[in-house]
């Protein structure tokens, strides 16, 4: 490993060489020989190597110029295309329908990336992301521990968690353990895309003051009187003294319907 590039702290680079963990990601994504895979941040190509063996085509988007230039030499595969670009400005609509995302992504990017892939008009069929364990748990949270991130992810995806990957398996080891996060596109959107913006305006208002009751946070966040908020909660059969993190996705939808009735 003497010729390996040093991991750049600023890009959150941690290389994973553990074959079993990399294979677990491919299994979680159910990679088949008919699949088009988008890999985000391929780095040294340890995951890329497995993906090109198992998928029809791999499109690897790498931000680091040096790594992007080195990848095709390292993995000379006819079904690999490398794009040197920041994933946050990538055009997902350039990909065919039902593509899949498989990626070991830098921690600082996780929440932002989940938002970006959730809001693209060209939603992948599946996204399997190796992320900080604590973030994976937060995205997959149940009512009681919900946050804006978990509501966003679960609005668009069926969310589950897979294998835990201890920090010691990475080079250099990060400070925390990782876990595989699996996002599977819902068969039907929860709401039409035209209503998603208003739905999230409501959810953001609810979470704008996490420690406060729905009555307080919604009346402040939506600039509605307390009486109006009481009436909306009553129509949705939700106790206005509850905290936002206790609501399920169905309850947020009921609130949304009541607000727009």
Task: Tell me the CATH number at 255.
Answer: 1.10.8.100
Last residue of a domain, one of 134, 169, 185: 185
Domain encompassing residue 122? 9-185
| Distance in Å from the first CA to the final CA of the chain | 62
**Higher pLDDT, residue 210 or 238:** 238
Residues 110 and 176 in one domain: yes
Residues 171 and 216 in one domain: no
Q: The domain spanning residue 163 has which CATH number?
A: 3.40.50.150
pLDDT bin (cut points 50, 70, 90) of residue 13 is low
Contact 72, 82 (CB under 8 A): yes
Give how far Cα 163 sits from Cα of 129, 157, 169, 170, Å: 11, 19, 13, 15
Helical (H) or strand (E) element with 251: helix 249-259
**Number of domains making up the chain:** 2
Per-residue pLDDT tens over the stretch 211-232: 899 999 999 999 999 999 999 9
Residues 205 and 244 in one domain: yes
Residues 211 and 118 in one domain: no
**Residue 123, phi then psi, degrees to nearest 5:** -70, 130
Is residue 1, in this structure, part of any structural domain at all? no
Cα gap 176→166, rounded to integer Å? 8
Q: What's the whole-number average pLDDT of the chain?
A: 92
Last residue of a domain, one of 185, 205, 239: 185
Confidence (pTM): 0.90
Per-residue pLDDT tens over the stretch 25-71: 999 999 999 999 999 999 999 999 999 999 999 999 999 999 999 99
């Amino acid at each position: 490993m003497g010729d390996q590039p040093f991991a750049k702290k600023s890009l959150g680079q941690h290389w994973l060489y553990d074959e079993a963990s990399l294979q677990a990601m491919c299994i979680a994504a159910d990679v088949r020989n008919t699949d088009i895979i988008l890999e985000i941040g391929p780095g040294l190509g340890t995951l890329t190597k497995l993906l090109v063996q198992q998928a029809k085509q791999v499109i690897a988007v790498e931000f680091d110029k040096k790594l992007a230039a080195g990848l095709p030499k390292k993995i000379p595969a006819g079904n690999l295309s490398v794009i040197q670009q920041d994933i946050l400005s990538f055009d997902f609509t350039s990909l065919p329908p039902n593509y899949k995302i498989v990626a070991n992504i830098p921690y600082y990017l996780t929440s932002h990336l989940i938002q970006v892939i959730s809001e693209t008009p060209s939603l992948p069929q599946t996204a399997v992301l190796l992320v900080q364990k604590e973030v994976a748990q937060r995205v997959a949270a149940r009512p009681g521990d919900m946050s804006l991130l978990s509501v966003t992810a679960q609005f668009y995806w069926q969310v589950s968690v897979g294998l835990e990957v201890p920090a010691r398996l990475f080079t250099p080891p990060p400070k925390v353990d990782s876990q595989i996060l699996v996002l599977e596109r819902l068969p039907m959107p929860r709401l039409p895309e035209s209503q998603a913006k208003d739905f999230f305006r409501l959810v953001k208002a609810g979470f704008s003051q996490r420690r406060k009751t729905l009555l307080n946070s919604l009346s402040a966040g939506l600039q509605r009187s307390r009486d109006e908020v009481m009436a909306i909660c009553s129509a949705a059969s939700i106790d206005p003294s509850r905290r936002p993190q206790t609501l399920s996705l169905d309850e947020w939808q009921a609130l949304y319907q009541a607000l727009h009735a």
